Structure formats: C-alpha cells, structure tokens
Amino acid sequence: MRRRTPPPPSPLPQREGVDAVRVRLPFDGAWRTVREHLVERLAGAGPGVVAGMFDAGLVVGADGRAVAPDAAYVPGMFVWFHRELPAEVRVPFAVDVVYRDEHIVVADKPHFLATTPRGGHVAETALARLRRELDIPTLSAAHRLDRLTAGLVLFTVRPDERGAYQSLFRDRRVGKEYEAVAPYDPALALPRTVRSRIVKERGVLTAREVEGAPNAVTHVEIAEHRDGLARYRLVPATGQTHQLRVHMNALGVPILGDPLYPEVTDPAPAGDFRRPLQLLARTLEFTDPVTGTAHRFLSTRTLQAWSSYTEWATGRPSAAAATGTP
C-alpha cells in the first residue's frame, strides 16, 4: 500500500490560535477556474463572499501568493484562506495546565469551553486559547470533551507524534474516570455495568439507544449521596457520543444541568454560564507511547451542585468553577 503524501504546510500563519482553512481541489470536475469551484463549494458563505476573497487576494496557494480570480482550475491543487472569525462571548473561566513537556500538554478544561474549533466556537476554544497562551502553534487535541463537560484533555505538541497519542484512545489504552452529580435513587441497584447500542445521527442533537449489539459500555457506581443527590463515579470502556449522559438518563438519574437528556431544552443565551452540566473528566491515565512514561493525571475542579447545590441551582458562579481550585 502506498503511503499517503502529506499536504504541504500552510503558508498562512494562525489567527488567534486558529489555523487557516485548507482546501484540496477535487481530481474530477468541470470547473474552469479555482474561484468557480470555491464559489460553488462554499455557497453557504453568502453571495459575493468568496468572490470578494479572491478580489482581496485572501486565497493563496502553497507558495503563499494570492490565487488570481481567473486562475485555471488544477486538479489536486491546495489553497488556503482564513474565514472571518465569528463574534464570540468569552468563557470567563481559565484553562489550567496540569502537565507539560516537549511532547504533550494536559489541560483541565472548564465547563462551556469547546475543546476544538467547531461551528460558532472558534477562537474561544481550549485549543486556540492554549496555542496563544503557551505559544505552541503546532498544538493539537488528541481527543475531545463535549463543550459542556469539564475536565482533563490531552493535547500533542508535535504533529508527527499526534497519531501515536490518538491511537491510545482508539485502541482503548487510556484509563478514564468521570464524576457526575445526579438524583439519588435508593431503588437503583449499583454498582453495575451498563451495556447498550447508542447511535447519533447527523443533524440530531441527541443520541439514543437502539436494539443491537452493544457499542457503549459504562461502569456506574455511587461515591456518596446526601439530600436526594448522589456523586457518581463513571468509568467508560467505550467512547460513543454522549455515552455517559445517555446511560445515566437510561438509569433514571439524568445528570444535573443536562440540556438534552431527558428532554431537549431551549439553548441558553450567549453569555449565560449558569447551572453547568455536572459532569467532570476526573482522571486520565496512560503510558506515553513516545517516552514510555506512565502518567496519571487528576482534575482539581469541583462540581458545583455537590459543593453548594443552592449556588448551582440559583445560578450564582463559584470561585471553584472559575479557577479550577478544589
């Protein structure tokens, strides 16, 4: 099997820690010019936007020079450009660096901050922030946490080593433990291991359980309980989208602050950081595939509904949520 030739490096620097968009022109097609193809491909950008980018010299080739508006279409050609960054409300909580060496960065992400750029969350993401704050433009995420989930995320420093760290998650060689706050049900027999088949369809906000061979496995146990609530320890053996949230909901104890389970609620307005989802990626454990070092990292964040349910329920921010301190 022939090895795939890597694309050339971007000729454009990052903006606010965000990479330029790279597009490779298809090998089949009947477009006459590069602009004609991109106008069609990026139709969602709006009338005249892509043509305006060409007129302003904002679309460049591998040599960093602007691609002329009438440049002939070349199959397989790479072009780069920066999209306009969306207006974003700053998430007013810090990303804490737990560990850093020449190969990896382990960060403790707050609630509400996306791991990587996606949709309307671009510069205001953990990845873009860390690139700026640590001055590591090559930083990449080895895996992702949901935007509403807080806790530990592994980032890689060197692009040629990223695959080795990603394979840890693909091959299930990472020990992960989560913590959640949810209602306490004395009739619910725990500990137990939940096994089910979860599917997540494109364009649908929620995932759901269906008949079929299990593809999602979670060990669930109670760490402690009081006043009708419990602090749960969740150990996933798989990594399906929304797996922990779906399994807790299926057990009849949905995680506090979940806007999707058991019912989809209206989106919170921009800048509303009240009542965060009470789910935390507490521990991350693995053997470094590059150095052979055995690592075990622990988040120091606390779940506000457990430390002060009244503050969480009334939407008052806590210092622990903001700083990541216990």
Q: Does a structural domain hold residue 292? A: yes
Q: Residues 204, 75: one domain?
A: no
Q: Does a structural domain hold residue 117? A: yes
pLDDT at 36: 95
Q: Is the pLDDT of residue 3 over 70?
A: no
DSSP class per residue in 197-250 = EEE--TT-S--EEESSS--EEEEEEEEEEETTEEEEEEEESS--TTHHHHHHHH
- Residue with more model confidence, 86 or 15: 15
Q: Residues 44, 167: one domain?
A: no
Among residues 146, 185, 266, 288, the one annotated as catalytic is 146
Q: Does a structural domain hold residue 40? A: yes
* pTM across the whole model: 0.89
Q: Residues 73, 151: one domain?
A: no
Q: Residues 77, 100: one domain?
A: no
Distance of CA 301 to the CA centre of its chain: 18
Q: Residues 130, 241: one domain?
A: yes
If one counts the domains in the chain, the total is 2
Q: Does a structural domain hold residue 139? A: yes
pLDDT tens readout for residues 73-123:
999 999 999 988 888 999 999 999 999 999 999 999 999 999 999 888 999
Q: Does a structural domain hold residue 88? A: no
Q: Residues 218, 292: one domain?
A: yes
Of 81, 104, 129, the last residue of a domain is 81
Q: Is the pLDDT of residue 43 over 90?
A: no
Q: Which domain CATH number covers 120?
A: 3.30.2350.10
Q: Does a structural domain hold residue 90? A: no
Q: Residues 77, 124: one domain?
A: no
Q: Residues 51, 100: one domain?
A: no
Q: Does a structural domain hold residue 7? A: no
Q: Residues 141, 281: one domain?
A: yes
Domain that holds residue 125: 96-323
pLDDT tens readout for residues 247-297:
999 999 999 999 999 999 998 898 999 999 999 999 999 999 999 999 999
pLDDT at 85: 87
Q: Residues 55, 108: one domain?
A: no
Whole-number average pLDDT of the chain: 93
Q: Does a structural domain hold residue 122? A: yes
pLDDT at 281: 98
Q: Residues 54, 104: one domain?
A: no
What is the percent of the chain with per-residue pLDDT over 90, rounded to a whole number? 87
Q: Residues 71, 191: one domain?
A: no
Of 56, 81, 106, the last residue of a domain is 81
- Residue 227 a catalytic site member: no
Q: Where in the chain does DSSP place strands (E)?
A: 21-24, 78-81, 96-100, 104-109, 140-141, 150-156, 175-183, 192-199, 208-210, 216-226, 229-236, 279-287, 294-298
